[in-house]
Chains A and B, each alone.
Chain A
Amino acid sequence: QKEVEQNSGPLSVPEGAIASLNCTYSDRGSQSFFWYRQYSGKSPELIMFIYSNGDKEDGRFTAQLNKASQYVSLLIRDSQPSDSATYLCAVNGDTGRRALTFGSGTRLQVQP
């Protein structure tokens, strides 16, 4: 079983719609959760981080965390073509490893 799982996509949404990206993780002791956006050929760029159960909003982005279900999601409201990228879910566990474990990423395509 992969430690962090994401649907590889592509997830295609029309411009202005809400894009919903999902991620599940296996390490129940995981402490912190991150969403990175990566454009083709570029390095990952931090979008959001979340530590506590519930929702965290930052502009058009909302991260949702449910530790009981081991589930974290990212909502992008009013999606724009410039949001088209691969979104990487990353988890920092409680194993003393102190390093990120990444999901395989979901490719988002926003259609104009």
Chain B
Amino acid sequence: DTEVTQTPKHLVMGMTNKKSLKCEQHMGHRAMYWYKQKAKKPPELMFVYSYEKLSINESVPSRFSPECPNSSLLNLHLHALQPEDSALYLCASSQAPTSTGTQYFGPGTRLLVL
């Protein structure tokens, strides 16, 4: 089973709202990732968690706040977003953050910021 789940599937929020995206995997993977994908562009890495610790932050604005409560869960807390933050937010996981680790993606959360 290579399933990564994400909730919600769709999210519409205003610029003053606070919301959270959730990602879950039960494959025993120890690396989890957040990507942002705009239309007709490839996924762009935002954050990497390795063994529940933040290992990479790709200079993402502080209005995006990741959290890894345990090895199966990854959250992305959103606050005071801008319309240009509207995108597909993808979660992925891999067995370990090695150079050969195969990443499996969840179905994504499509976010619209009004």
Contact = CB atoms under 8 A, between A and B. Distances in A.
Interface of A: 31-32, 34, 36, 41-46, 49, 51, 88, 92-94, 97-100, 102-105
Contacts of A105: 42
Interface stretch (B14-22, B75-83, B99-107): B99-107
Contacts of A41: 110
B66 interface: no
A49 B102 contact: yes
Contacts of B106: 43
Given A43-B90, A44-B43, A105-B42, A99 B48 contact: yes
Contacts of B99: 31-32, 92-94, 98
Interface of B: 2, 31, 33, 41-43, 45, 48, 50, 55-56, 88, 90, 97-108, 110
A79 B45 CA distance: 31
B107 A42 contact: yes
Contacts of A36: 105
A97 B102 contact: no
Given A31-B99, A43-B107, A93-B99, A100 B45 contact: yes
Contacts of A49: 102
Contacts of A88: 42-43
Contact of A46 (B50, B100, B104, B110): B104
